[in-house]
Amino acid sequence: MTPSELLKINVNEHTEKKNGLTYLSWAWAWDQVLRADAQATYDVKTFGDNPYMRIGDSAMVWVTVTVFGKAITVQLPVLDYRNKCIANPNAFDINTSIMRCLTKGIAMHGLGLYIYAGEDLPMDAETVKEVEPVKVMPVDQETGEIKGEVKLDSGDADANAMLFADSMIQYSSIVKSLKDLNSYWKANQGQLDKLKESHPVLYEKVRTTFSDIKKQFSQPKE
């Protein structure tokens, strides 16, 4: 099985819907990955003794999934069934989030990625044949918009930058305090610096989003 073949697997029978969100079984997904690449591994990033990063009273988990020799790192906030951050998550919450994060990481290699793209079915076999293993997700350096169709290849620098920027913006919309917002920015400063260098327009988009939310938090409540 190749990376592009992972893309065409229909995972619908192995998903579960909760509150309008679709979840893919991590056990089944990992089984598929091992069938594709017996050498595949995943690694949960630790922060000191903890398998999660504290951001204010919320937490973020990070997992690196290596398939076909390519390592992709993804992160996921510890969320409840309403897709909201859990304050002071317990071991169960963290564990659940890590396994969801693993599934997300697997998706970044192709399996079930169409679910994250909001589609009902994977690309059909014929379409997939036309998609080469490595495709570029071109980002317009002037507007920060993706040019043309998003090709599902997370190994690409543009795709990773886009994913990171997107997750930053997504998280910024669910934080509840200025302190949490600032903590999140600080926790990602290293990656933000790299984004600033490689994709200045995307960086500015993230920064402006954060700046606007900072202003909202700073304004006195009526």
Partner 1 sequence: MKITNVHNVPQPLVTLAEGKHYSKGKSDYSVTELMSPPRVQRLRALHDEHIVQDVAEMLWPLLGSALHVVMERGETEGWTSEERLFTEVDGVVISGAIDLQENTKEGVNIVDYKFTSAWAVMNEKIDWEQQLNVYKWLVETVKKKKVNSLRICAMIRDFNRHDIDREGYPQAPIHMVDIPMWDAVKAETYVRQRLEMHRESKLSADFGEPLQKCSPEERWMSDTIYAVKRDGRKTAIRVFKDETEASVCADEESKKGKGKAYVEIRPAEPKRCTGNYCGVAKFCDQHQSEGETK
- Burial class (CB within 10 angstroms; exposed 0-12, middle 13-18, buried 19+) of 219: exposed
189 touches partner 1 by CB under 8 A: yes
Question: Which of the ranges 33-41, 109-117, 149-157, 186-194 carries the binding residues for partner 1, by CB under 8 A?
Answer: 186-194
**Binding partner 1 by CB under 8 A: which of 20, 118, 190, 220?**
190
**Binding partner 1 by CB under 8 A: which of 1, 207, 209, 213?**
207
The backbone torsions φ and ψ at residue 173, rounded to the nearest 5 degrees and listed phi first, read -80, -15
Q: Residues touching partner 1: how many (CB under 8 A)?
A: 15
DSSP string, 109-152: TTTTHHHHTT-SSPPPHHHHHHS-SS----B-TTT-PBPSS---
42 touches partner 1 by CB under 8 A: no
Tokens of 136: 């570029």
- How many Å apart are CA 164 and CA 169, to the nearest integer? 9
**Binding partner 1 by CB under 8 A: which of 98, 123, 192, 195?**
192
Nearest CB to partner 1, comparing residues 36 and 98: 98
**Single-letter code of the amino acid located at 73:** T
In whole angstroms, the minimum distance from the beta carbon of 207 to partner 1 comes to: 7
What three-state secondary structure class fits 18? strand
Nearest CB to partner 1, comparing residues 138 and 144: 144
Length of the chain: 222
**Binding partner 1 by CB under 8 A: which of 25, 182, 198, 209?**
182
14 touches partner 1 by CB under 8 A: no
210 touches partner 1 by CB under 8 A: yes
Of 69-108, which residues contact partner 1 (CB under 8 A)?
none
What three-state secondary structure class fits 9? coil
In whole angstroms, the minimum distance from the beta carbon of 165 to partner 1 comes to: 15
194 touches partner 1 by CB under 8 A: no
Long-range own/partner contacts, residues 173-177 (CB < 8 A, 24 or more apart):
173/213, 174/77, 174/83, 174/84, 174/85, 175/56, 175/58, 175/85, 175/213, 176/85, 177/56, 177/217
**Binding partner 1 by CB under 8 A: which of 187, 198, 201, 209?**
187
Cβ(60)–Cβ(79) below 8 Å: no
In whole angstroms, the minimum distance from the beta carbon of 25 to partner 1 comes to: 29
Q: Which residues bind partner 1 (CB under 8 A)?
A: 45, 47-48, 53, 182, 185-187, 189-190, 192, 207, 210-211, 214
